[in-house]
Structure 1
C-alpha cells in the first residue's frame, strides 16, 4: 500500500493590489481576511505590566530642585529690585545694583537645563555661584542695599549642588543614546 499523499493546503488569498504610488507590502485599508494582517494595539494602550514594574523617569533629587528654585527666586527678585532702583535712583544706580546679581542671571539660564544636562552644567553652576559669592561680598563691602541676599543664595546653591545626590543626578545615564562620561 502506498502512503496517502497529504491533502493540499488551501492557497492564501492574494494580497490586495498596491495603491497608486504606494507600496505593495502594506494595504491601504487592513483586510482582516488577509492572513498576515494582525491588528496592532493603539499607541496609548495601557501597559501589560503592573504599575510597580513600569519604567518611570527618575525624579530630580531634592537638592537639585531646591537649587533650581533658589536660582529662579533670586533672579526674579533681582529683576524686580533692579526695576525699583531704576525708578527711584536712575539707570546708573540700577546698573550698579544689578551687577551684584549678574551671575544669578547666567545661573538662571543654566538652571533650566538641570533636568536634562550633564555634569558640566553642574560644575559651571558651582563656579558661577562661587563668583557670585565674590561679587556679593564686594557689594556688601560697598554698602549696596540687600547685597547680602545674593551672597546667601549663592552659598545655598554651592551647598545644594555639592551634595552627593546632585552629583549622581548630573552623572546619571540618559536615554538619548549618549554614553555617560567616565570620570
Structure 2
C-alpha cells in the first residue's frame, strides 16, 4: 500500500501566464445551501400539529352540536377556522416554497388571536387551538424549516 497521492492534472496557464488554480465550473461557483434529504422534524411536527388541530376542531364542534345545537357548534368551531386553511397549506409542505411557510406563519398568528378570543369567552377547550397555533408558529419559525422551504426544487 502506497502513501503517495495521485498526480494532479496539468494546469492550464491563466491570463497572466501563471497556472490557473481554480477549478472550471459549468456555472459560477456560488455557495449552495445544503439541501435537506427529507422534510425536517420541525416541519413534519408542524404538519402533524395542524392535522391534529383541524381534526380536533371537527370533533369538538360535532360534540358541541350534538349536545347544544347548531349555533353552539358554530361558536365552538370559530377558533378553528384558520386551522382549516392551515390544513390545506400543510398538504403543500413537501413541495412548496417560502410563500407557503410565510402564509402558514401568518395564519398561525391569526389562529393565536382567534383562540385567545375563544379562551377569553370561556369556550370549552379554547386553550387547545391556542396551544396548537403557538406550536405551529414556533416549529415553522425554526431555521431548519426556513431551509426546507428555501431549498432548490426541480420541476
The interval holding the TM-score normalised by the smaller chain is 0.7 to 0.9
Q: Which runs of 4+ in 1 moved over 3 A?
A: none
Q: Does 1:119 align with 2:98?
A: yes
Q: Does 1:81 align with 2:60?
A: yes
Equivalence map 1:153-172=2 (5 Å): 153-172=132-151
In the TM superposition, what is the alpha-carbon distance from 1:175 to its structure 2 partner? Answer: 1.1
Q: Distance in 2 between matches of 1:80 and 1:164?
A: 33
**CA-atom RMSD in angstroms:** 0.9
Which residue of the other structure, out of 33, 37, 44, is the alignment partner of 1:65? 44
In the TM superposition, what is the alpha-carbon distance from 1:132 to its structure 2 partner? Answer: 0.4
SS at match of 1:101: helix
> What's the counterpart of residue 77 of structure 2?
98
Alignment gaps of 5+ in structure 2: 1-35
Alpha-carbon deviations, 1:1-24, whole Å to 9, x = none? xxxxxxxxxxxxxxxxxxxxxxxx
Report the TM-score when normalising by structure 2. 0.76
Q: Distance in 2 between matches of 1:98 and 1:89?
A: 13
Q: Does 1:140 align with 2:119?
A: yes
Higher percent of residues as helix: 2
In the TM superposition, what is the alpha-carbon distance from 1:173 to its structure 2 partner? Answer: 0.3
Number of residue pairs matched by the alignment: 120
SS at match of 1:100: helix
> What's the counterpart of residue 19 of structure 2?
none
Equivalence map 1:25-36=2 (5 Å): none
- Which deviates the most, 165-174 or 73-82? 73-82
In the TM superposition, what is the alpha-carbon distance from 1:58 to its structure 2 partner? Answer: 2.3
In the TM superposition, what is the alpha-carbon distance from 1:81 to its structure 2 partner? Answer: 1.1
Report the TM-score when normalising by structure 1. 0.65
In the TM superposition, what is the alpha-carbon distance from 1:77 to its structure 2 partner? Answer: 1.2
Larger gyration radius, structure 1 or structure 2: 1
Q: Distance in 1 between matches of 2:111 and 2:51?
A: 15
